[in-house]
Structure 1
């Protein structure tokens, strides 16, 4: 009986480690060292947005300012959302404090993990290609 219990516990621990390793590997994919990372967006006014997958969204703030927002988790509604809400405090969106919600599930908030400044359309296309390659690795 004890051997069986030890075997079951060992299997559960191994499964948990594998799942944790997989989650860490997936989170590492969303690191964009080639981009300028910022802690906040000041004077935030969303003019448009484009989702890439269930963890990332490009947000246009004021003409000619685009940011990549990486979420702290998965929002399964994000890719198909008709409306998007980004929380802010006095016009400032801050990593770790603010979150993203879709119009279909406004009570379901996903915290912002990282914000990157996008300098050009070409840079946005490069990031899009990189994110699209993530789904190929699954």
Structure 2
């Protein structure tokens, strides 16, 4: 009986973890589509003054970075950068105040692990104002109606 109960609890736990992973993956996918819809044409580089205002992980090969609160870029990497999912911060390499596609890297920073840089394949500027409006609209539409 105890073994049957343990097996049931284990299966329930696995199912719940799978549901969480699926929801997180779906949310990540929806966010990526939103950011891609508000991204401009690829550019070679952007100005970078040594720090970022924020960043958002959008998949294992994509993230958005804010070098300033009013300026953001969608970065597509040259392949999966699995350490990004566990990073508490990131670092960007740059040359003479510019981050370049195909030459610079995003480095995930985590406690207790060796950072491995991930090469930037493509940089696309984001329309921050439109992204905020679209995000607000999406939040309003997903809020429960009525009280």
TM-score normalised per structure 2: 0.57
Q: Contact conserved, 2:104 with 2:120, CA < 8 A, in 1?
A: yes
Using the TM superposition, give the Cα deviation of residue 106 of structure 1 relative to its aligned residue in structure 2, in angstroms: 5.2
Cα 1:47/1:55, change in 2 over 3 Å: same
Unaligned runs of 5+ in 1: 1-29, 130-138
Alpha-carbon deviation of 1:89?
A: 1.0
Q: Which structure has the bigger radius of gyration? A: 2
Give the Cα–Cα distance (whole angstroms) in 2 for the partners of residues 93 and 56 of structure 1.
16
2:82 counterpart SS class: coil
Deviation at 1:93, TM superposition (A): 0.1
Per-residue deviation, residues 93-126 of structure 1 (Å, max 9, x unmatched): 0001100111125541111000010013544768
> 5+ residue gaps in structure 2?
1-32, 139-147
Q: Does 1:119 align with 2:124?
A: no
Asked if the contact 2:71/2:128 (under 8 Å) is kept, the reply is: no
Counterpart for residue 60 of structure 1: 66
Residue in structure 2 matched with residue 12 of structure 1 by the alignment: none
Distance (whole Å) between structure 1 residues aligned to residue 114 and residue 63 of structure 2: 16
CA distance in 2, matches of 1:78, 1:42: 22
Q: Quote the Cα distance in structure 2 between the aligned partners of 1:88 and 1:42.
A: 9
- Which of residues 100, 103, 118 is equivalent to 1:97? 103
* Cα distance in 1 between the residues matched to 2:53 and 2:100: 18
With the length of structure 1 as denominator, give the TM-score of the two structures: 0.60
1:34-73 aligned at under 5 Å gives the runs 35-44=40-49, 45-73=51-79
